[in-house]
Chains A and B, each alone.
Chain A
Amino acid sequence: MAKQKINLTIDDVPLSVPEGTTIMEAAERIGVRIPRLCYHPDLSMAGSCRVCIVEVAGMGYYMASCSVKVWEGMEVQTNSPEIRRARRDIVELLLDNHNMDCQTCERDGHCELQNLAYAMGVRRRHFEGQRKRFPVDLSSHSVVRDPEKCILCGRCVRACAEIQGVHNLSQHGRGFHTVVAPAHEANMDDSVCIQCGQCINVCPTAAFLEKRNSRDVWDALADPDLHVVVQTAPSIRAAIGEGFGLPPGTPATGRMITALRRLGFDAVFDTNFGADLTIVEEAHELLIRLRGDAPLPMITSCSPGWINFLEKFYPELIPHASTCKSPMSMLSTLTKTFYAERKGIDPKRIYNVAVMPCVAKKYEARRPEHFTPEGTPYTDAVLTTRELIWMIKSYGIDFLRLPDGEFDAPLGVSSGAGDIFGTTGGVMEATLRAASELVTGKPADRLEFTEVRAVEGLRETYVAIGDRAIHVGVANGLTNAKTLLDKIINREEEFHVIEVMACPGGCIGGGGQPYPAESVKVLDPELLRKRAAALYEIDRGKTLRKSYENPAVDEVYDQFLGGPGSTKAHQLLHTHYRGALPRGIR
């Protein structure tokens, strides 16, 4: 049944909207964007910041337009002198309890509070006085928590609970002393945090940031004794351009490579190569599992946020996780073994940098499973897309004018199947391209499996491989993943393969990706769709589209590893996981 239409006026403009529309949504229909802070369309309603207040005729108080639904005959003023003053006062009060260090703040220029203050016309401080004081929490390898910059909008609390199902954050205490923190105000390191970094993405200020590694990288680049190698994840090329003003969805692979060479990296490799290798190893593992030698379904293991979630919240499903290392860790391992051997470089002199869309990769790189036998990490430093953008700008490189460069062979050669790893369903699609051939012994009759591209967050479907129907599940965002995981535990469905990516949209929506432009909401599905489209465009433009056909992968197997699933491959390319107690509450 169609919803009833409600007639109202906003700023004297008459309009008619469906019943249940909020004032804020109604205003957007006539081109009025009411200022907002704690509101996010994909999260539950908080109504706590009061920035979006409007005047409603006949009401004795200002109403929060994000949460009040329209009624028949409602007369709304969004910009009366009184409301403008009240709104400015609210923002002023937020600012007066906030640091005055915009110039030295990581978020400078991308801060919603800063932009809001400017838009509201706040030009000086009125209420200098006591300000909240909290120490910065630097305990985590990935996420830095700086409660002094927090304005208690609660977006991180809601994102952590509603999108990721982790519930690591909540507001503690009351009044002036309120602080957003993990349970018992523990360090992030001692909490159930899975280090996905979505709190960084949704934070309007710099209360959450990635742990920076750019200084380590500058130091390595300046050290003449080190051979500094860099690799870039598939999703970086699809998003890095945004940092330099390119429209979202502009592939920038060639310029990114040139920028990295100008920064002084001695070799530029492609994490895609690691992705192709992951697919070959994982397809091999899948065949073993399909034979009945290990439990089904197999769950992908590339996303370190997901692996943290698995270990902390679903330890009983650990035997289902593919033992393959992530593409980053596979490539880093080969750089310090295969590449070092071939180039005759002492692996101790190699400094491995990985540019990732992800903050959890910073933690993955520090897991003891990913250390060399000498006890040093295979991946020395992980930079987020944001950190790399900053380094390029800081170096005075005019990104938009750069000529295209190319990755170094062989660890930079990849198929299109590697590119699509960066978006949801990509690992599944790449696996299906490979498995199809492995199972049937014939070339796949198709390359694109659009039915596994879980843009809405969750997909379950059957894919025919030969005469076999493979039951697959794809999830991004861990709340979506829970749906699939609970089905496995309750034995409601028999899946063969499940792909889980911790972040919304997959790596393209990772916790280390560029902050969106001011007019774009955080985690905008449209923004994610554009970034994904860039990856599909790159994939379609390649002649090499299946991981098995990557000649560089063959070369590494022939000359170094033996075959897929060989003892050496197991030693270098596979890992294991550890369940944690007490199990997180899911």
Chain B
Amino acid sequence: MTTTSTNNWEEVRAAAQAALTEPIVRYIEQCNAGPEPASQLISVLHKVQSHFGYLGPEQLDAVAQLLQIPAAKVAGVASFYHFFRLQPHGRFRINVCLGTACYVKGAERVAQRIMDELGITWGETSKDGVFTLEGSRCLGTCGLAPVVMIDDEIHASVTPDQVPAILEKYLERARQGPAA
């Protein structure tokens, strides 16, 4: 987009607001009114991620503009922390426990089977947008090892051979339509 010559801040601001939501913009404005607004960057990113589920370039650029922190810095912070996602996750989030007990009971082989079935690796989303694969440390249910959590549902004592059937259940749900 090009402009002739005048100050284009109003347009920039409007574009930034459109990329975020009204409450997030209000929150950023509160930060700007307080001391050291730049130090609120991480808390702003948390707000944005909890609303959108991830931090896309559009959102990061908007945060950069509204906080007046260079976009490279904002993106650098977002990409450094494990907690922040830079891509949207799929309809279902598969969380394979990689804690000691699960690991010993074969979580690695289960995870490998999921990767083979879906053609993705850690942190990625399947092409059809249905699954995102994540790993976590201990889920605190070592008696059920190895544990795979899909969204809020627990799958206990999972073997690699059970993986296709488990995935199929969720694929079926996805085919029935979007979540209520």
Contact = CB atoms under 8 A, between A and B. Distances in A.
- Among B4, B15, B61, the one with the most A-chain Cβ atoms within 10 Å of its Cβ is B4
A323 interface: no
7 contacts: A168-B72, A170-B72, A183-B72, A184-B75, A315-B8, A579-B8, A585-B70
Nearest to A157: B72
Contacts of A185: 75
Nearest to B86: A184
B2 interface: yes
Contacts of A581: 1-3, 8, 11-12, 15
Contacts of B70: 161, 167-168, 170, 183, 584-585
A167 B75 contact: no
Nearest to B67: A585
B2 A578 contact: yes
Nearest to B73: A170
A3 interface: no
A583 interface: yes
B74 interface: yes
A454 B72 CA distance: 30
Interface of A: 161, 167-174, 181-186, 191-192, 315-316, 318-319, 578-585
A125 to B, nearest CB: 29
B75 A172 contact: yes
A170 B75 contact: yes
B76 interface: yes
B71 interface: yes
Nearest to B13: A582
Given A161-B70, A168-B72, A184-B57, A585 B64 contact: yes
Nearest to A179: B79
B156 interface: no
A182 B12 contact: no
Contacts of A183: 57, 60-61, 64, 70-72, 74-76
A161 B15 CA distance: 25
A170 B11 contact: no
B7 interface: yes
Contacts of A582: 8, 11-12, 15-16, 61, 65
Given A167-B73, A183-B57, A315-B6, 6 more contacts: A181-B72, A183-B72, A184-B57, A191-B72, A578-B3, A582-B12
Given A173-B80, A580-B2, A582-B65, A316 B75 contact: no
- The list of the 5 closest CB pairs from A to B, nearest first, reads A167-B70, A170-B76, A183-B71, A316-B7, A170-B72
B28 to A, nearest CB: 14
A173 B123 CA distance: 14
A181 B73 CA distance: 10
A315 B7 CA distance: 6
A167 B71 CA distance: 8
A171 B57 CA distance: 16
B34 to A, nearest CB: 19
A580 B2 CA distance: 5
Nearest to B2: A578
Contacts of A172: 75-76, 79-80
B5 interface: yes
Given A173-B79, A183-B61, A585-B65, A579 B71 contact: no
A172 B73 CA distance: 9
Nearest to A186: B57
A174 B72 contact: no
Contact of A315 (B3, B73, B82): B3
A167 B79 contact: no
Given A170-B75, A171-B76, A579 B65 contact: no
B65 to A, nearest CB: 6
B123 to A, nearest CB: 11
A134 to B, nearest CB: 14
A187 to B, nearest CB: 13
B136 interface: no
B44 to A, nearest CB: 15
B68 interface: yes
Nearest to B15: A582
Nearest to B6: A316
Interface string B82-104: 10000000000000000000000
Contacts of B166: none
